[in-house]
C-alpha cells in the first residue's frame, strides 16, 4: 500500500505540473480541475502499480526457472 501511495503522489505531482504548464489549454477544465487531476493521477498510479507487480512476478519466476535449470544440470552430471 505504501508503494501505491508513493506512486499516486508522484503521479499527482506530475499531472499537476503538466496541467500547470499548458495541459489546461489542451483540456478545457474550468469547473472540475482538481477532480480531473486526481482522477488522472489515480488511473496512472493504478497502471504503474499493476506493471510493477507484474515485473516483480516475472523476476521471481525467472529466478525460480534458473534455480530449477541449475538443479537439472546438477542431476544430469551425476
SS3 of the chain: CHHHHHHHHHHHHHHHHHHHHHHHHHCCCCCCHHHHHHHHHHHHHHHHHHHHHHHHHHHHHHHHHHHHHHHHHHHHHC
Task: Determine the distance from the C-alpha atom of residue 76 to the mean position of all C-alpha atoms in its chain, rounded to a whole number.
Answer: 41
Average pLDDT over residues 15-33: 78
Q: What is the grid cell recorded at 62?
A: 525467472
N-to-C CA span, the chain: 47
pLDDT at 8: 94
Q: What is the pTM of this model?
A: 0.74
Task: Please tell me the predicted confidence (pLDDT) of residue 78.
Answer: 63
Amino acid at each position: 500500500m505504501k508503494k501505491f501511495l508513493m506512486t499516486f503522489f508522484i503521479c499527482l505531482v506530475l499531472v499537476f505540473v503538466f496541467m500547470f504548464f499548458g495541459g489546461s489549454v489542451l483540456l478545457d477544465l474550468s469547473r472540475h480541475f482538481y477532480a480531473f487531476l486526481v482522477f488522472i493521477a489515480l488511473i496512472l498510479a493504478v497502471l504503474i502499480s499493476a506493471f510493477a507487480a507484474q515485473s516483480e512476478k516475472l523476476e521471481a519466476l525467472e529466478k525460480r526457472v534458473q534455480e530449477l535449470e541449475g538443479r537439472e544440470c546438477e542431476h544430469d552430471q551425476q
